[in-house]
Structure 1
Amino acid sequence: KFFYFIKKKKFKKTKLPKFDKSIDDRLKKKYWFNIKERPEIVILEGWCVGARPQSNSLIKKPVNILEKYEDENLIWRKHVNEKLKREYKKLFAMIDYYIFMKIPNFNMVFKWRQLQESKLRKKLYYKKKIMTYSAIKRFIMFYQRITLQMIKDLSKSASIVMLLSKNHEIKKILFKS
């Protein structure tokens, strides 16, 4: 809703949601940012920003054990694909430029998520949901298909592609015209 709101001709003050990765959701509205003027630049950062739907023939083949054994009837895959075809397509169409941070390989998603959870565990003073090793493995399986497709798609179509090393460092930046 925020992006639709700031694209309107008449801008009124609004609140910008604040996301907390440790709870995988937005914080309560009292913690959101107050936006009084239309921002010149908005950066939307997220794992699946720019993801595109796949063809029906592609979603039939499972990419991991979760899809093979827990989504035999393609319910999850079809649901995600429909969301990408409709709601997310509209949202992503509002983005003027994409900066894609390309990972060296899909295994890095797991390693980096483990690192992130470890940092959250050390940082938090109060109890929040921090994922275990097996929970992380399962969690990333839900996004494996999208991530692999994004590596193919956004590597070609993003305005800027940042090639990352296994140490999270930028090895190279590619600019597209």
Structure 2
Amino acid sequence: MTDFRASAQYQTTLAQLTEKLQSDLSFPAVVGISGAQGSGKSTLAAELVKQLQRQGIKAAAVSLDDYYLSKAQRQALAEQVHPLLVQRGVPGTHDIARAIADAKAVLAGYDVALPQFDKALDEPAAALAAQRLDLLIVEGWCLGVAAQPEAELTEPVNQLEQGEDKDGRWRQFVNNQLAGPYAEYWQLLQPLIWLKAPDWNCVCRWRAQQEQQLWQQRSKGMTPEQLSRFMLPFQRLTLASWQQLPQLADDTVSLDSQHNIHFSAN
């Protein structure tokens, strides 16, 4: 996969965002980067951290994915609420209380030990050493997405919802999570930067490229069939993000199918 970071557009956008964060923020702060899978959230977060650290700002990045619950915890959710919750991904499968506590700790000037998650093992890994930060960047696939109106939950968006969530219990649980603790977390992420992918097909292709890299690095990962199934729970909220985030995001970075970008401050 071509390294899109080398493009002039990417470097220009990176410089614009770095300057904007420095000029607009009062530290300590917690910033959000939202975007569909494969859109480059973790890459942008890491690049921003590098740029800000060069300016003497104590910055770090964490992914919403790093807060995923363990297999055992998700299995318990699957048994208590709905079988689909055994898979990591949707709101309700994170330790959102810890995410909120970490963000509040940064904002209060306390040390924070950021979590890590091993996707190849599908289990939490050891946390990073505790540190006090001026700026924490949080990146995640559904950051900022609000609970949907009840009417929008009625119709399934794909075969997974149609076949495995016939009564809508899974959709309702996820929606309740968005309306509750996740909404509280989103409020702590100021500003919210949105990486706007062009369409769902691109998202699936980009995620497949990520999985290929995981296989190369770890010799572990999902087969194409497993990945296709894995993506289905993400579709509803990814589609919702295209409806909601144009109004909610503070800054938008639009991507084409080749990761070429255009930055606009909302």
Which TM class, normalised by the smaller chain length? 0.7 to 0.9
Amino acid at match of 2:172: K
Which residue is 2:82 aligned to?
Answer: none
Return the structure number with greater helix share: 2
Separation (CA, whole Å) in 2 of partners of 1:160 and 1:54: 22
What residue in structure 1 maps to residue 159 of structure 2?
Answer: 65
Q: CA RMSD in A?
A: 1.8
After superposition, the C-alpha distances for 1:23-49 in whole angstroms (9 at most, x for unaligned) are 44431x2xx222332x11111111111
Contact kept, 8 Å, 2:102 with 2:114, in 1: the verdict is no
Q: Does 1:166 align with 2:257?
A: yes
Question: How far does residue 167 in structure 1 lie from its aligned partner after superposition?
Answer: 1.4
* Amino acid paired to 2:208: Q
* Partner deviation per Cα, 1:62-91 (whole Å, 9 max, x = no partner): 111111111110011001001101110111
Q: Which one of the candidate residues 221, 224, 242 is aligned to 1:151? A: 242
Larger displacement relative to structure 2 (152-161 or 99-108): 152-161
Answer yes or no: is 1:109 the counterpart of 2:203: yes
2:125 aligned with 1:34? no
**TM-score if structure 2 supplies the norm length?**
0.59
The corresponding residue for 1:175 is 265
Partner Cα distance (1:10, 1:96) in 2:
15
Flag the structure with more relative contact order, 1 or 2, with Cα contacts below 8 A and sequence separation at least 6. 2
Residues 1-177 of structure 1: pairs in structure 2 closer than 5 A: 1-8=98-105, 11-27=109-125, 29=126, 32-37=127-132, 39-124=133-218, 128=220, 130-170=221-261, 172-176=262-266
Is the 1:5–1:11 Cα contact (8 Å) retained in structure 2?
no
Work out whether residues 102 and 164 of structure 1, in 8 Å CA contact, stay in contact via their aligned partners in 2: yes
Shift of 1:59: 0.4
Identical positions, percent: 30
**Letter paired with 2:116:** K
Q: How has the CA–CA distance of structure 1 residues 105 and 155 changed in structure 2, closer, same or farther, with 3 Å as cutoff?
A: same
Gaps of 5+ in 2: 1-97
Specify the SS of the correspondent of 1:34: coil
Size of the aligned set, in residue pairs, is 168
SS of aligned partner of 1:43: strand
Counterpart CA distance in 1 for 2:103 and 2:151 is 37
Shift of the 87–17 alpha-carbon distance from structure 1 to 2, 3 Å rule, reads same
Equivalent in the alignment of 2:87: none
Structure 1 residues 43 and 59, CA gap change in structure 2 (3 angstroms): same
Letter aligned with residue 143 of structure 2: V
Cα separation, partners in 2 of 1:117 and 1:4, compared to 1, 3 Å: same
- Distance, in Å, in 2 between the alignment partners of 1:98 and 1:10 is 20
- Alpha-carbon distance in structure 1 between the residues aligned to 2:209 and 2:108: 43
Distance 1:12 1:159, change over 3 A: closer
Aligned AA for 2:205? K
